Structure 1
Amino acid sequence: MSFQHSVEAWVKNHQNIRKGERFRRIAKGLGYAEKLFLEKVWFPMFGHMDHLHPEYEVVDFKDSYRYIDFAYIHHLLRIAIEIDPFGTHLRDMTRDQYSDERDRQNDLIIDGWKVIRFSLDRIRDNPRACQRRIQNLIGKYLVDWQRLKEMSLEEREIIRIARRLQKDLKMQHIKDWLNISDPYARKLLHGLVKKGELAQASGTQRITAYRLMSNQYDYLLD
């Protein structure tokens, strides 16, 4: 299907499932910058609009409705894609509106969204650079997701516990949380060390505490 036909079918589908302000915003049509993003960046990269939502509605921490230019939602990954035309986007803003825009982005990040922004100039002059950034972000998610899928349920829960503790992890924590025996807890912890997910935090002949190697799974385990 051609780009034009794909966009028309995609927009029509979203019109059919929206009501109220959500319908009005999509019914008025995409702006020049948004259309250019789809034409120069998104469609050449994927060849479809699957999992991409225009003018996506979210509720902020003040219970106000906000709208994201494009939201990519696939499994547990949520990416907010914002297009910023140079000039009018900032020139027409008051100081309060500018501060509110920053609050809006912060709220999205706190709520677990990945936020990526592109200027109109970058989309027009160097769409490949925009594609690389999106590919890197989605690619990182796919790698992390695959590594989590290869872990057992208990191993994933240990990673979750270690994140929440925000201190060195001890075998007693695992025994209490998972209600398992000493040998099984030790086996799980040693297995995660071998996989590079945990590292020794204390102990010489025997490890007495563990620490996470990274927080790379934060957005997948929240």
Structure 2
Amino acid sequence: MAKKEKRYSAGQTANSIVTEFVEAQRKTAKGQRLEMLQRDLSGTIKLLTDLLLPVFGSLEGFQLEYEIVGANGFKIYADVYYEPLGLVFECDGYVVHAELITRDRFSLERMRMRTFTLGGYAYFPFSWDELDKKPEMCRRAVYEVLGKRGRGGSGLQRLDVYERELLRVAANSKMFTPKHVRDWLDIKHRKARELIQSMKQSQLIVRVGGSEHRDYGYAIGEKGKELLSRR
């Protein structure tokens, strides 16, 4: 049975959002960057669709084929760059990087990694198989780096990655429901329910409305607000 695609605002799907984003990136690109964007972007598209859009909720702040100039003046291009936190994401298949790689290509890849490090970028490579078979593990890794690279104060570091990310995405919402939690974090009903119950018990979130046996919605509690305010 085909997997039902997640819906975003205005009836958009992940595929339509990513398609529009890629086309917009191509329209503003020039020279070698445009050439890079005209090539096969299947790995980049999978990275955006299956990992980055579900975690971030939008593609604002991202750039494709971001140009970086190394110390020797040599230009390299990062597949996906998240400018607010200096994160570089890439996705490659096994065949490209293991079976058919040449010595020169292997050396070039090592040089690219050094350039990312020397430039202060955090480099996060993922394989196609990881994204395809273990998407939740990949998303957890991204949630971890979001907490460590500034999207939350030091007090948030002690929380579970899902607790931390829920506080972050719900910060501007007066109220949210279990459906919001499932959509924001791209998790199943059971996981969302367990997360909500755990955060209620720790007073990170509080119930809003409802009855004795059923909650209507939730909001960030005073304890959660205090953690978010620590910078």
Give the equivalent residue in structure 2 for 1:20: 31
Q: Does 1:42 align with 2:42?
A: no
**Percentage of identical aligned residues:** 26
* TM-score normalised by structure 1 residue count: 0.59
C-alpha offsets along residues 80-136 of structure 1, whole Å, 9 cap, x if unaligned?
A: 112121123222222232122112101111110001111111110001111111111
Deviates more, 1:62-71 or 1:43-52: 43-52
**Partner SS, residue 44 of structure 2:** helix
- The amino acid across from 1:2 in the alignment is T
Structure with bigger gyration radius: 1
Change in CA separation of 1:145 and 1:12 when aligned onto 2, cut-off 3 Å: farther
**Structure 2 segments unaligned to the other structure (5+ residues):** 1-11, 156-231
Cα 1:125/1:21, change in 2 over 3 Å: same
The root-mean-square deviation of aligned C-alpha atoms, in Å, is: 2.0
Tell me the matched-pair count.
144
Q: Distance in 2 between matches of 1:4 and 1:35?
A: 9
Counterpart contact for 2:131–2:138, Cα < 8 Å: yes
The equivalent residue for 2:227 is: none
Structure 1 segment 187-206 matched on structure 2, within 5 A = none
Q: Which runs of 4+ in 1 moved over 4 A?
A: 143-147
Partner of 2:94, secondary structure, is coil
* Structure-to-structure mapping, 1:84-123, within 5 angstroms: 84-123=92-131
Query: SS of 1:81's equivalent?
Result: strand
Aligned to 1:69: 79
Judge which range, 135-144 or 2-11, deviates more. Answer: 135-144
1: distance between equivalents of 2:82 and 2:151? Answer: 17
1:169 maps to none
Q: Which residue type is aligned with residue 54 of structure 1?
A: L
Counterpart check, 1:11 vs 2:19 = no
SS in structure 2 opposite 1:71? strand
1:41-190 to 2 correspondence within 5 Å?
41-74=51-84, 77-142=85-150
CA distance in 1 between partners of 2:20 and 2:40 (Å): 13
Give the counterpart letter for 1:110 in structure 2: L
